[in-house]
Each structure stands twice: as C-alpha cells, then as structure tokens.
Amino acid sequence: MRICRFDGNRFGLVQGDEVRDVTAAFASLPQHAYPFPRTDLMIENLATLRPAIEAAARDVKPVALASLTLQSPIANPGKIVAAPVNYKKHLDEARGDAEIHHQNAVGEIQRVGLFLKATSSVVGCGEGVAMRHADRRNDHEIELAVVIGKAADRVGYDEALDYVAGYCIGLDMTIRGPEERSLRKSLDTFTVLGPYFVTADEIQDPAGLDLELTVDGEKRQVANTRDLILDVKTLISWASSFYTLHPGDVILTGTPEGVGPVLPGNTIRATISRIGTMDVKVRELPPR
Ligand code: MN
C-alpha cells in the first residue's frame, strides 16, 4: 500500500499516478489529549487502518498524483536517526574534498556512530527546500528512508526487518561546514520525505534498490543500496542498541557518492526503484 499526505492534512491511497482521498478512514485513529504520544499514529495503527483505507477508497474518484501538493507522509516522526557516510565511495569522496570535510575528520560509520536530525526539519516534496544560508554550500543527499513500525529495543540483525513499517525517499539536505551535523542538517525543510509512504510488504528486501538524483536534469547521484556499508538490518539493530525506536521513527540510511551543491531555482529529482520519483524545488528563504 502507498499512502500520501497532501493539501493540508488530507490522506490519499496512491495507485500508479492516481490518488484516492481516504481521509475519512483516519477518523478511526485513537483520539489523544495532552500530553500527546511521541509516536506517529498512522504508523502505529497501520494494521487496523489498512482495511479502513481500502474501504474508504472504494467510493472515491481518483485524482492525478501530480495535481497534489505533497506533504511528508509521516506527519509526526518521533526522531530522525541518520547514518553519516554509509557508502564507501562517498567516504572516499568526502575525505578527498576539503569543501565537504572542512577539516573535520571523516571517520568510518562504525566509529562515528549515528546522529539525529530535528523533526522540525521534515517536509514533503511539494513543500520544497528553503535555503537560509544561500551564501554557503548547500548539498543534496538522496537516501533510502526506513520507517519503523513497532517499538524496537535491542533487536537482533536477523529480526530487524520485522520492525519496518515501510519506506520513503529521503533527502538529507546539508550545509557544508565545520559545525556539528545536527546543526547543519536540521534547518527547516532540510529533511524531505516522500513522495509517499510505501508499506514494507511491497519491498521485501531493501538491499538492491537503485537510487538516482538529478538537479535540473543533470545526473548527480547514481547508486544502489546493496553498496551500503551498514545495511538496513544492521542500522536498525545498532540504533536500537542505544535507544528504543518507536513507530514512525525514521532512519535515513546514508547517501552515496555524487553529493553536490544546489542553488535557489534548482529542481531536485530523486528516484528510488520500487518507491517512485519526487521533484523538490529549491528556493531562498526571503529575509524577515
Ligand atoms: Mn546524509
């Protein structure tokens, strides 16, 4: 199943390039009063939501996916876990380019560990990326985004995929510079998730997905998730050895070689096989 969020918190069932509005099905989600849970309710209740979504879709006329303004399909991720430099060729690239490493030692992921991005940085592809420091180098990073489906606390490698609800395309937008990653990668709009959420049953094995990113038609990043240094199972197992992963938590699995700058006016096109394609416009945030 493919689920999108669009046009101010409407929800859609995506079938090919068409969408059926199934917002009515979401009324069945549990109602919460303050303090709110830190999980994503859609993901946490996916098993019961799925038949309701299918039922709601039956009586609805489809509209074109391309006609909608897509928001992040995961509305309330509790945390965004991200893998630094998790493809060998990107490690070589980062170590060889002073504009990427900025005198920071580029360590291997096994030594450096994982980092967190602010959840306030999350947008959908229809909302675009807004540059606040356009005088600095702002890079694209395409990544497979893994959405956790149930609480994962110290899970083993072999069982790790049982904890996955599904997948999206992720953009881990980044200002290059000497500061901590959490600062340079947490600007508003710097985590793009989309175009929609694909449930795990549609992607049996997340190893072997093709990734491609272009900027205004120019090919920048072409890779395959089989070349991840730490694969999806290892990332889940390792992350959950430090903290519990909750439904709706997102793991950005790292970007391959070919990172490069974007400028206001550019359009990023990101594609991952078995998921889809999303176009993301880059703009400069106007002064206050
Ligand atoms: Mn990244």
Which residues are CB-contacts of 275 (< 8 A; sequence separation ≥ 6)?
A: 167, 168, 169, 198, 203, 209
Task: Band the pLDDT of 91: cuts 50, 70, 90.
Answer: confident
Q: Which residue has the higher pLDDT, 103 or 65?
A: 65
**CA 139 to ligand 1 centroid distance, Å:** 10
**CA 39 to ligand 1 centroid distance, Å:** 23
Give the pLDDT of residue 283. Answer: 98
Judge residue 38's burial from the number of C-beta atoms within 10 Å of its C-beta, 0-12 exposed, 13-18 middle, 19 or more buried.
Answer: middle
The two structure tokens encoding residue 21:
């509005």
Task: Band the pLDDT of 103: cuts 50, 70, 90.
Answer: confident
CA–CA distance, 254 with 82 (Å, rounded to integer): 7
Q: What are the residues facing 41 on neighbouring strands?
A: none
- Provide mean pLDDT across the span 10-28: 97
**CA 83 to ligand 1 centroid distance, Å:** 6
**CA 141 to ligand 1 centroid distance, Å:** 6
**CA 57 to ligand 1 centroid distance, Å:** 36
CA–CA distance, 192 with 74 (Å, rounded to integer): 11
**CA 100 to ligand 1 centroid distance, Å:** 12
**CA 94 to ligand 1 centroid distance, Å:** 12
Give the pLDDT of residue 125. Answer: 98
The domain made up of 80-284 has a fold known as Fumarylacetoacetate hydrolase; domain 2 (3.90.850)
Q: What is the pLDDT of residues 253-276, one digit of tens each?
A: 999 999 999 999 999 999 999 999
Task: Band the pLDDT of 174: cuts 50, 70, 90.
Answer: very high
Give the pLDDT of residue 202. Answer: 98
Domain ranges of the chain: 2-71, 80-284
pLDDT of residue 104 exceeding 90, the answer is: no
CA–CA distance, 126 with 121 (Å, rounded to integer): 14
**CA 13 to ligand 1 centroid distance, Å:** 29
pLDDT of residue 100 exceeding 90, the answer is: no
**CA 144 to ligand 1 centroid distance, Å:** 10
**CA 188 to ligand 1 centroid distance, Å:** 16
**CA 276 to ligand 1 centroid distance, Å:** 19
Q: Pairing between strand 260-261 and 210-215?
A: unpaired
Mean pLDDT in the chain? Answer: 96
Of the candidates 1, 129, 124, 113, the residue with the CA atom closest to the CA atom of residue 54: 1
Which residues are CB-contacts of 27 (< 8 A; sequence separation ≥ 6)?
A: none
**CA 34 to ligand 1 centroid distance, Å:** 33
Judge residue 201's burial from the number of C-beta atoms within 10 Å of its C-beta, 0-12 exposed, 13-18 middle, 19 or more buried.
Answer: exposed
**CA 28 to ligand 1 centroid distance, Å:** 36
**CA 156 to ligand 1 centroid distance, Å:** 24
